[in-house]
A and B are shown apart, each in its own frame.
Chain A
Amino acid sequence: MRDIILFTLIVAAGTGGELCVSRAMKVVGEATSFHPIEIAKVILRALRVPWMWLGVAMMAIAFFALLGALSLYNVSFVVPVTALSYVAGAFGGVAFLRERVSPQRWLGVLLVAIGVTLVFLGKS
């Protein structure tokens, strides 16, 4: 039960947080250069978008759940299990950000998911 709660928090809060951050960055606009001043400006602009704060809060929850999981299991087990978020991520990108995912990209996502499953089954 503890494991299910930990991994659900990592996947759900992590994916939700990333989607919020991604949405915020679409509002902020493209970073035009890698100059430190430009990067600082982009970060400051990002901090004024509420989606960013919601995203950061969710990612913080996912982070502490990750710390808990890492105290119990190997990192080469924990991190692949968190890749369950690929399924959530692809659907979330379509539903939440209105991104179009081509059949070819779906195939790639599917292969990644199969690989992640094998990694999970290979828990020795």
Chain B
Amino acid sequence: MTSLKTLHLKTYLMIAVMIVAGPLGNVFLAKGMKHGGALSIWPPSALYQTALNVFASPSIWLGVASLITFFVAYMLVLSWADYSFVQPASSLAYGVVALLGYLMLGERVSPLRWAGIAVICVGVFIVGRTDPRTTAHETPERL
């Protein structure tokens, strides 16, 4: 039986990994897709050529690696914490993605957008103070 304190600690640790690796992955993907130019997906030969171009970009693979890291952390945390806890808690990632987009890609982020990010953080703080698990863990006879 895992103690509640350990449960909280490892939950927050995994969420920290998620909110760094997830946005980093998105920013790398964005970087890779910006180099590809216009995307043609029809006829299939054009789609094939587009796919070749996209997956020839190192940024895309860095992005995929980051997102896999994110996904493993996500799977692990979902094995003990509720989805409706994990998803809102990981929304700090929206702040991180805007920050990284601004710092790494030079994107212009308007004041209104930053204000929205601040509101998101307040929401995340409130959500983070609720209990990570509300359902009892039992054997999977429900399937």
Contact = CB atoms under 8 A, between A and B. Distances in A.
B43 interface: no
Main secondary structure of the interface of A (DSSP, over half): helix
Q: How large is the interface on A (under 10, 10 to 19, 20 to 34, 35 or more residues)?
A: 35 or more
Interface in A90-124: 90, 92-94, 97-102, 104-105, 107-124
Interface residues of B, number: 64
B80 to A, nearest CB: 4
Contacts of A113: 123
B94 A104 contact: no
A111 B122 contact: yes
Nearest to A85: B87
A80 B116 contact: yes
Contacts of A118: 112-113, 115-116, 119
15 contacts: A25-B79, A26-B135, A42-B76, A43-B72, A46-B75, A74-B30, A79-B97, A86-B88, A102-B134, A104-B126, A105-B130, A109-B84, A111-B119, A115-B94, A119-B98
